[in-house]
Amino acid sequence: MLKVYNLKDLNAKAVEDLCKRNIDSNNHIRAAVTEIIDEVKLNGDNALKTFAEKFDGISLNKLFLEKEEIRTIASGASEEAKQALKLAYDNIWKFHASQLRTEEKTETSKGVVCWRELRAIEKVGLYIPGGTAVLPSTFLMLGIPARIAGCKEIIVCSPPQKDGKVNAYLAYCAELLEIDRIYLAGGAQAVAAMAYGTESILKVDKIFGPGNQYVTKAKTIIQSESQTAIDMPAGPSEVLVIADDTANAEYVAADLLAQAEHGIDSQAVLVCSSAKIIEETILELKKQLTLLPRAEIAAKAIANSYAVLCSDLKEAMQFSNSYAPEHLILATDQWESICDYIVNAGSVFLGHLTPESAGDYASGTNHTLPTSSYAKAYSGVSVDSFVKKITFQHINKEGIRNLGPAVEILASLEGLQAHKNAVTVRLKDSRE
């Protein structure tokens, strides 16, 4: 069950160690992933079929589903499920559409105008996990901002199910997003296929999507070794709940288990100023765990998780900023008073009635977020993730006369005569 630590007993090194997770200290995962990547680079589609048989237990005749097959599969989704997915689609679209803004031009000095314009990344790859749980919500979270941004090529990879297809909910999301082909590839091999290309799968410019430690390691390797970028290191899911004596232990336990059921390498952390709430939460965990279909998975994740007793909410927030959680829940009446202290978090859920599950599915915010402390440097997926912001500038005669002399001086300071001359020849003409 949940281990409990008292923050006052922990020194800085102990806190640092407690905040570490998903560490591949012996490089076992890196070695396995490197081997998979090399195999895909060498053997392309054949390697993907071999890995599908090895990891997914399915012999594939072809590596993709096309529009008509997707439509047929989608027809198997219930109306209730379709309505829920459409509601999520609409809310996610509405939130992300607001991120697409045209920036104003700025005259930095007389006659010198600078601005930025958005251009969509042309070819993007979306990885939709499908291990112990298939996530159509992730398809929406990645596909919607890609569509809003205007990406020309959207390659979608997801592991095949035992019938050699995808489930009806994933297929329905493909219809909503107007995706005509889904590639049946999962894990590190799917990442490699999108990074380097195969006979069937187009090489993309940037890869998006969460996954297990193997998927995350593949993304970090290909980012350094190929010409393909990644959204962020988004690995096993995690939540940190900050609570005080106003928290509802039943709610807190439910939130912790909601993350724990993702996978055995997920982590759920409670940082609380009330020993009583910690005790009540542990009792609730035991009670609720027995009712979960994925109880075995959740129990292993909870065993790898912990609670920290702290003196007050400010101290709790300091620990949270060190941990830098993917999901941060403020289970307190005082959430407004501590929001300004949040420095590192992927997505934040405020108050007792805002479960992280809402953000996972249908409130509108994106659930593809940085994990393993990468929230210290990365943001979650947004429309910005799918575009480049290109700077433009235009200088007229008055502008070159105003700016040119300063540029000449600065170029001379750096000993770059050709840089200076590129201005000098223009100044000469502009003065005539």
13-17, long-range: CB < 8 A, 24+ apart: 15/319, 15/322, 16/322
Q: Do strands 181-184 and 64-66 pair parallel, antiparallel, or not at all (unpaired)? A: antiparallel
Handedness of CA 80, 68, 162, 213 (dihedral sign): negative
Q: Could you say which of 96, 262, 327, 367 is catalytic?
A: 327
- Give SS3 for 143: helix
Q: How far apart are CA 185 and CA 129, in angstroms?
A: 10
> How many Cβ atoms from other residues are within 10 Å of residue 150's Cβ?
15
Q: Could you say which of 238, 261, 326, 356 is catalytic?
A: 326
Is 398 assigned a catalytic role? Answer: no
Residues 163, 174 contacting (CB under 8 angstroms): no
**H-helix or E-strand containing 244?**
none
Q: Do strands 112-120 and 387-395 pair parallel, antiparallel, or not at all (unpaired)? A: antiparallel
Q: How far apart are CA 351 and CA 336, in angstroms?
A: 9
End-to-end Cα spacing for the chain: 82
Residue carrying structure tokens 């290109």: 390
Residue carrying structure tokens 């060190």: 322
Is 326 assigned a catalytic role? Answer: yes
DSSP state, 130? B
Q: How far is CA 272 from CA 7, 86, 97, 243, in A?
A: 10, 37, 37, 5
Q: How far apart are CA 39 and CA 45, in angstroms?
A: 10
Tokens coding 312 = 């007050």
- Note the Cα 77 to chain centre separation in Å: 27
Residue carrying structure tokens 């005749």: 61
Handedness of CA 51, 56, 57, 58 (dihedral sign): negative
The residues carrying an active-site annotation are: 326-327
